[in-house]
Amino acid sequence: MKSVIVYYSLSGNVACAARELAARLGADLLPIQPQKAYPDKGVKKFFWGGKSAVMGEQPPLQPYVFSAERYDAVILAFPVWAGTVAPPVRTFAVREKEALRGKTLGFAACQSGAGAPKAFRVLEELVGEAPRATLTLIDPKDKPNPQNAAHMDDFCRLLSAE
């Protein structure tokens, strides 16, 4: 099964998880970025990112190339902001909704606190398809945990199951 991991990472936790998943699945990586970067430090980081997430904003993205026909599976990986999907992934999901139809989907979330189950429900509504597998990690770059490997293995096994 040919897979791609589409991800947005502000602090590097999602990028760390995406690289690890790509190595396990033999998947391609497609990082996406908003045209205007979010602050990555201090109070501004939480204020602007949280406000954007809570308001359901869909920021314009820097140009990217996504050829859905090349892939059987698409994993959307994102940080959980204010209990929901980070806005750049929201933009991608809405923009590529038709291209994602019929694909095997996986959702991978990195969070510091809670909110991934709600974020998965929001993302499922945005793309109009249920994921075959979901993965929740707690800041895998900043707080390495030996259990992450087992969680990733389970996610990959579910995603690849026929």
pLDDT at residue number 11: 87
Contact yes or no for 75/159 (Cβ under 8 A)? yes
pLDDT at residue number 47: 46
DSSP code string of 111-142: ESSS-HHHHHHHHHHHHTS--SEEEEEE-TTT
Out of 12-16, 19-23, 48-52, 127-131, pick the least confident. 48-52
Closest CA relative to residue 64, chosen from 124, 23, 7 = 7
Round the average pLDDT of the chain to a whole number and report it.
90
pLDDT at residue number 39: 56
Instruction: Report the predicted TM-score, pTM, of the whole model to 2 decimal places.
Output: 0.93
38-86 tens-digit pLDDT: 657 666 555 455 556 656 777 899 999 999 999 999 999 999 988 889 9
pLDDT at residue number 113: 83
Contact yes or no for 117/90 (Cβ under 8 A)? no
Cα–Cα distance measured from residue 124 to residue 75, given in angstroms and rounded to the nearest whole number: 12
Angle at 123 between CA 55 and CA 108, to 5 degrees: 115
Contact yes or no for 72/85 (Cβ under 8 A)? no
Tokens 């590529």 belong to residue: 96
pLDDT at residue number 125: 96
Q: Give domain limits for the chain.
A: 3-160
pLDDT at residue number 141: 81
Which amino acid type is present at position 83?
A: G
pLDDT at residue number 37: 77
pLDDT at residue number 53: 65
Angle at 92 between CA 94 and CA 53, to 5 degrees: 85
Q: What is the CATH number of domain 3-160?
A: 3.40.50.360
Strands (E), 8-126: 28-31, 73-81, 84-85, 104-111
Higher pLDDT, 140 or 40: 140
